Structure 1
Amino acid sequence: MAFDAGELTALLDGRWAHVRNQVREALDGVDLAPADDLDTESHRARTLEQLQQLAKTGVPGLGFPSAYGGSGDTGGSVVSLEMLPGNLSLMVKSGVQWGLFGGAVVALGTERHHERYLSDIMSAELPGCFAMTETGHGSDVQNLRTTATYDPESQEFVVHTPHEAARKEYIGNAARDGRMAVVFAQLITGGEGHGVHALLVPIRDQAGNPLPGVEITDCGRKAGLNGVDNGRIVFDQVRVPREALLNRYGDVAEDGTYSSPIASKGKRFFTMLGTLIRGRVSVAGTAGSAAKLALEIALRYGDVRRQFGRPGSADEVVVLDYLAHQRKLLPALAKTFALHFAQEELVASLHDGPTDERAQRELEARAAGLKAITTWHATRTIQTCREACGGAGYLAENQLAQLKADTDVFTTFEGDNTVLLQLVAKGLLTDYKDQFSDLGTLGLAKFLADQFVSAMFERSATRSLVQRIMDGSGKDDILDRGWQLEMFDERERHVLDGLGRRLRKANRDNGFEVFNRAQDHVLRAGRVHVERQLLEAFVGAIERCRDEETAALLNKVCDLFVLSTIEEDRAWFLEHERITPRRSKAITEAVNELCRQIRPHAVDLVEAFGIPRQWLTAPIATGAEADRQEELRAYERS
């Protein structure tokens, strides 16, 4: 099967193709190679230099308002970070500087902050930190314990760390380079707390020395990302002017009067956090890019590396021709495509902005779910690629070991994945509850009756399906896109219905215990919801494909994603009579056949992602490796 590689790249580049091309061109000729072989201090210094080099390309200005020298392209700024998978220390430091620190000033600040700081943030003249996480509270942001108490006499806020649990922990840019931090603290005026707010707090002078009352310590060497200077910050009665408060959602007058356009403290808190999801979206995109890079290395190596031979043949077999090797890499490649298309939709939703509160909630849940699934996928895929490359994959020069070390923390920063999937499920349950709010007694009875009829219909349909399989008339049903969509949709609805029934037992006295006992169910609900979204995004992308041969190949890749997902979760589908044992075996056979059909195009497929070539440095992934393998075969033949 021939396909148009250019058409596929254009489809993958999507709405922000111009940004991807801009970054590719900007990186060409600029030395941003990773410096992981250096000692920690040298690595950090080199990463800062690279950050400053990157600032000169103009790429970091994409996400900042045009009124202050940026491009006002929120989606483009996220996509630009996706293009840095070969130097993840630089990517993370860029994300801290322009996504978290700069993004918080844009989203939570007002004109006075934008006028004063954005230019220096974009140019990296003002290196900054995002000081949210504390030693005692990571995911539970609402209960942070750092305080910012307003003093009306001096018209200053007093920022203070009341005890060790309130120490700001693991803060990027803090240990070495940051001069200012966006500090999240409990805002107190006149003895009354107003919840978590953000303030701009200087932490170092121009010479790099900590300011009075600011204690900074180094988190030390980490498993990866050692070009990023993570540190801890403690504040001892540090005073900042009233204007330091990022006051878009809450302000304090000179006399200490607090005001906010959002009356509810809880709603105000979640609105503030909702404006900061760009970092979470960026982590998902970058994790996906790291998986793409790992797959390109492994697939290129597998396409030339030979082991063992066929009986009667002097030539050894290319390892990617083995089904076991295909099984390792090609389902992961298929899921990477699904995640890419879903990420493109998420970035578009972020860029266009939600139209109402419900859309905002859906955006936050989608960002949380995709970040969790993508980072777990990256961790698993990079490990699989390392194993697929044998001992060569363990060598530092072949990149996989560093990719594994650098991305491992992605599963827990910008939100612990387990907590994020619970957030997804919570959103689903809210929507689920809303379905019942106006039903009344008769309506609820009708709903339950419909559920019973639906369940009976499903069992009947399953029996009919079994019969069609047994007589051979339905052997291709598993490749029917409608059936696939229905399987994913039915699984999600069934899991959510079951979870809803379990949680209805909760009351004021046992609410925590009921929820705690159902956490496995909660996490499954979040996961299957995201997997349904992945499939829908994949289908939408295929529909946008203009070239028939390319669309046909993508359909096979999508089939592989669907059927390998069902195969992995076959216990659920069998237990709930969505498939029969016979169909389960047919799915496994289909996965094997799809791997065989996709195998000749594997390298071209992964190359279509368009990762900038300067990031592909592994010797086993270059043409030199193919030449070396040919020399070895020639030597053996002689």
Structure 2
Amino acid sequence: MDNVLRTLLDGRWADLRERTRKRLGVLEAPPPGVDRERHRDHVLRQLRVLASAGHSGVGFPVRHGGDGDFGGSVVAFEMLGFGDLSLMVKAGVQWGLFGGAVQALGTGQQHERYLREIVELDLLGCFAMTESGHGSDVQHLNTTATYDPDTGEFVVHTPDPSARKDYIGNAARDGRMAVVFAQLVTSGDRHGVHALLVPIREQDGSPRPGVTIEDCGEKAGLNGVDNGRLSFDHVRVPREALLDRYGHVAEDGTYSSPVEGANKRFFTMLGTLVRGRISVAGGALSATKKALTIAIRHGESRRQFARPDGTEVPILDYLAHQRRLLPALATTYALTFAQEELVTELHEVFGGDSDNDQRKRELESHAAGLKAVATWHATRTIQECREACGGAGYLAENELPQLKADTDVFTTFEGDNTVLLQLVAKGLLTGYRDHLGDLDALGMARFVATQLVGAVIERTPVRALLGGDLHDRTWQLKLFTDREEHVLDGLVRRLRKAGEGDAFEVFNNAQDHVLRAARTHVDRIVLEAFVAAIERCPDAATAELLDQVCDLHVLANIEADLAWFLGHGRLTPARAKSVTSAVNRLCAELRPRAGELVEAFGVPMEWITAPIAQR
């Protein structure tokens, strides 16, 4: 059964996952207690090992030294999350963000010139989007790139301290070039945010003229990644430095684009970079799986207090301990199956020749929602694993403190989770419906008021939800769908009631409702992914086990939101009590299978160095 579970979890890219496990086996962990500079040296050496092994080229075109497997590049990144997370993030910066931006936003000549060097690590680079004053609001960043027709160059400039590029991986030490996002200006006209390739260092490692580089210094985690700050003082780059797939500047300064409208062009450009957001969700899940493997192995071997016959009890036999770990384990399974579906969709949408804008927008929305939920789940679960291991879990040798520190930032990079859920909710409210134009708050509220009230899918009658078996999958799906529809309908009515109020106040006053609408939507999608995985399971015994795991995921979710289900008449008080009883019972039933369930994650044992996890 272990092999069936592993194969199901590994999914479409099972062979790539297995190859990556073997590559991880030859990598070296950073020395214990290593200082920041030595950690950075170590990570760069290991990055070169990965490049030599062919890991770097998975998602790049074959003609540029890659494998041409777009979805596989996310899987390859995700698998690095079982090892040193600094290495995972630095690989993501080099090949996912820097290389990915050149691949997605550049054109043929730029691909020919740079991609192979990026794949082979002959050109190290960084992704300079975030500014000190503009993190999530990329559309209004302040860095400028002004075209000078007299010289045929762009002048890249940081107009004020708030426009400094901040927290840029690979910038502090190793990067030689940056993809810089700036407001493009030609002939006095602004054309919105575009990306340019800007050299930032000379061959000897010193900053290029006009480029100021600062080191972000010590961080809470990920100190093997050299995060830095970049500022530009009228730095000139040739016209060919513009990554011009979506915006071209002729020699005389004439601007042209295949995408009409600055807003649509902006969202189209950012949409091509969605792979990074999906990768972060996958990396967070890998770290979560590693933490659960450590904590559950410890829970099976650690004994405390004695039974009447004098034998000491494994702490995982205690219901309280099971409740700390097993619902989180069940949800990790659910999110893994949802992640697999998302990567498959990414591969089909961006790995081929699809021009389906609606499908792309749905993918971007799902990616935003799953990234938020998966990274919050990682933060909570790793903390619970640490506490479940007591004082031993606080020791650096047992890995959990480093996992906590390294994953904490995942909730805010590649998009702050709260902002991402707002994007999901906006997608739900409008369906985008070709509304890639002005998505301001008041316009959203007015559109909703006139278009969506009464358009929510007809809901299952409440009386149909009050009865039935808690373990009935149809009932569970109806309950999750009903909650999502009810919350969305309530949000629509709330915005309609706000009417013609102040644009900011209308949407700001409903943000609690906005976030709940997005979260319930993601919960439903995740459940559907779990159900689909069970249906394609080829082994009846494994499917039966997964049925129990899915039940635990569902009922723990319901239990966590009992206030809503009771308050909105979806559960009676008696049914609510039965939910808690069912969670307890499922924890007891799954306890003997807990070790089997974490072993199926396939975390390479070379990377489980925690003494408390050894058997």
TM-score where L is the length of structure 1: 0.91
- Cross-structure match for 1:5: 2
Counterparts of 2:410 and 2:24 in 1: how far apart (Å)? 24
Partner of 1:487: 479
SS of equivalent to 1:478: coil
2:430 counterpart of 1:425: no
Task: Give the Cα–Cα distance (whole angstroms) in 2 for the partners of residues 25 and 555 of structure 1.
Answer: 31
Q: What residue number does 2:263 align with?
A: 266
Aligned partner (choices 593, 600, 614) of residue 606 of structure 2 = 614
Corresponding residue for residue 289 of structure 1: 286
CA deviation after TM superposition for structure 1 residue 27, in Å: 2.6
Cα deviation digits, residues 149-177 of structure 1 (max 9, x gap): 00001100000000000000000000000
* Greater Cα radius of gyration, structure 1 or 2: 1
Indicate the residue corresponding to 2:57 in structure 1.
61
8 Å CA contact retained: 1:65, 1:71: yes
Shift in Å at residue 593 of structure 1?
0.5
Are the equivalent residues in 2 in contact too, given 1:252–1:258 (CA < 8 A)? yes
Give the match's secondary structure for 1:84. helix
Larger displacement relative to structure 2 (107-116 or 505-514):
505-514
Q: Is the partner of 2:209 in helix, strand or coil?
A: coil
Give the deviation of 1:447 after TM superposition: 6.2
SS at match of 2:470: helix
1:283 and 1:384 map into 2 onto residues whose CA distance is: 21
Distance 1:95-1:444 versus aligned 2 partners, 3 A rule: closer
CA shift in 2, pair 1:194/1:317, >3 Å: same
Counterpart residue number, 1:496: 488
Q: In structure 2, do the counterparts of structure 1 residues 302 and 445 end up closer, same or farther at CA, with 3 Å as the change threshold? A: closer
Letter in 1 for 2:77: L
Q: Secondary structure at the match of 2:172?
A: coil
Matched, 1:561 2:553: yes
Q: Determine helix, strand or coil for the equivalent of 1:64.
A: coil
Residue from 115, 133, 152 that aligns with 1:118: 115
The whole-number CA distance in structure 2 between the counterparts of 1:494 and 1:202 is: 52
**2:356 match:** 356
17 and 445 in structure 1: CA distance in 2 versus 1, 3 angstrom threshold: closer
Q: Residues of 2 paired with 1:433 and 1:259: CA distance?
A: 25
- The AA in structure 2 aligned to 1:59 is H
Query: Is 2:491–2:514's contact at 8 Å kept on the other side of the alignment?
Result: yes
1:113 is displaced (CA, Å) by 0.8
Give the secondary-structure state (helix, strand or coil) at the position aligned to 1:504: helix
8 Å CA contact retained: 1:159, 1:239: yes
Q: Per the alignment, in what secondary structure is the counterpart of residue 34 of structure 1? A: coil
2:324 pairs with 1:344:
no
* 1:188-242 deviations in Å (ceiling 9; x for gaps): 0000000000000000011111000000001110000000000000000000000
In 2, Cα distance between equivalents of 1:294 and 1:335: 14
TM-score by length of 2: 0.95
Question: How far apart in 2 are the matches of 1:152 and 1:133?
Answer: 28
In 2, distance between residues paired with 1:42 and 1:284?
28
Structure-2 residue corresponding to 1:325: 321
CA deviations on 1:381-406 (whole Å, 9 max, x unpaired) are 00000000000000001000000000
Partner amino acid for 2:607? W
1:411-441: CA deviations, max 9, x gaps?
Answer: 00000000000000000001298999xx9x9
What residue ranges of structure 1 are gaps of 5+ in the alignment?
Answer: 466-473, 624-638
Q: Who is 1:33 aligned against?
A: 29
Letter in 1 for 2:121: A
Residue type at the aligned position of 2:505: E
Partners in 2 of 1:231 and 1:322 — Cα distance?
A: 47
- Distance change in 2, residues 1:530/1:116 (3 Å): same
CA contact (8 A) 1:36 1:43 kept: no
* Mapped partners of 1:443, 1:602: distance in 2: 48
CA contact (8 A) 2:465 2:478 kept: no
Report the counterpart of residue 175 of structure 2 in structure 1. Answer: 178
Aligned to 2:405: 405
Partner of 1:316: 312
- Residue in 2 that maps onto 1:18: 15
| Separation of aligned partners in 1, 2:574 and 2:180 | 58
Rounded Cα–Cα distance in structure 2 between residues aligned with 1:400 and 1:137 = 32
Measured in 2, the distance between the counterparts of 1:446 and 1:491 equals 16
Give the one of 140, 147, 150 matched to 1:153. 150
Check whether the contact 2:452–2:492 (CA below 8 A) recurs between aligned residues.
no
Specify which of 531, 539, 560 is matched with residue 547 of structure 1.
Answer: 539
Q: Which residue of 2 aligns with 1:191?
A: 188
User: Is it true that 1:131 corresponds to 2:128 in the alignment?
Assistant: yes
Of residues 510, 530, 540 in structure 2, which corresponds to 1:538?
A: 530
CA displacement at 1:504 relative to structure 2 = 1.6
Query: After the TM superposition, which residues 76-475 of structure 1 pair with which residues of structure 2 at under 5 Å, given as runs?
Result: 76-85=72-81, 86-311=83-308, 313-353=309-349, 355-431=355-431, 457-458=461-462, 460-461=463-464, 465=467, 474=468
Contact 1:372 1:418 in 2 (8 A): yes
CA distance in 2, matches of 1:303, 1:340: 24
Deviations 1:423-481 (A, max 9, x none): 00000001298999xx9x99999869x96xx58x42x4456x3xxxxxxxx5xx10000
Distance 1:445 1:253 in 2: 47
Cα shift at 1:615 = 1.4
State the alpha-carbon separation in 1 of the partners of residues 75 and 27 from structure 2.
20
Contact 1:217 1:231 in 2 (8 A): yes
Letter of the structure 2 residue corresponding to residue 529 of structure 1 = H
3-state SS of paired residue (1:586): helix
Kindly state the Cα deviation for residue 35 of structure 1 after the two structures are TM-superposed.
4.2
Equivalent pair of 1:297/1:620 in contact (CA under 8 Å): yes
Question: In the TM superposition, what is the alpha-carbon distance from 1:511 to its structure 2 partner?
Answer: 2.4
What amino acid is aligned across from residue 529 of structure 2 in structure 1? A
Instruction: Report what 1:517 is aligned to.
Output: 509
Note the C-alpha offset of 1:31: 2.9
* Deviation sequence 1:107-149 (CA, Å, 0-9, x none): 0000111111111101111110000000000000000100000
> AA paired with 1:584?
A
> Is the CA contact 1:383–1:404 (under 8 Å) kept in the aligned structure 2?
yes
Matches for 1:569-608 after TM superposition, within 5 Å: 569-608=561-600
Shift of 1:69: 1.2
Cα distance between partner residues in 1 of 2:518 and 2:598: 28
**CA 1:445–1:202 in structure 2 vs 1: closer, same or farther (change >3 Å)?**
closer
Deviation at 1:26, TM superposition (A): 2.2
RMSD: 2.2
Question: In structure 1, what residue type is equivalent to 2:566?
Answer: L
CA contact (8 A) 1:198 1:246 kept: yes
Does the 8 Å CA contact 1:100/1:130 hold for their aligned counterparts? yes
Aligned length: 601
Residue 30 of structure 2 aligns to a residue whose secondary structure is: coil
In 1: Cα distance, 2:335 partner to 2:218 partner: 32
427-436 or 191-200, which moves further after superposition?
A: 427-436
Deviation, structure 1 residue 60: 1.1
Gaps (5+ residues) in structure 2?
436-443
Matched to 1:33, the amino acid is: A
Using the alignment, how far apart are the partners of 1:296 and 1:572 within structure 2? 33
Shift of 1:610: 1.0
Cα deviation digits, residues 484-512 of structure 1 (max 9, x gap): 00000000000000001111234554221
Amino acid of the residue matched to residue 45 of structure 2? E
Structure 1 runs (4+) greater than 3 angstroms displaced? 432-436, 441-448, 460-463, 505-509
Secondary structure class of the residue paired with 1:198: strand
Structure 2 contact 86–223 (Cα < 8 Å) conserved = yes
2:127 maps to a residue whose letter is F
The residue identity in structure 2 corresponding to 1:304 is S
Structure 1 residues 413 and 447: alpha-carbon distance in aligned structure 2, compared to 1, 3 A threshold: closer
Fraction of identical pairs, as percent: 67
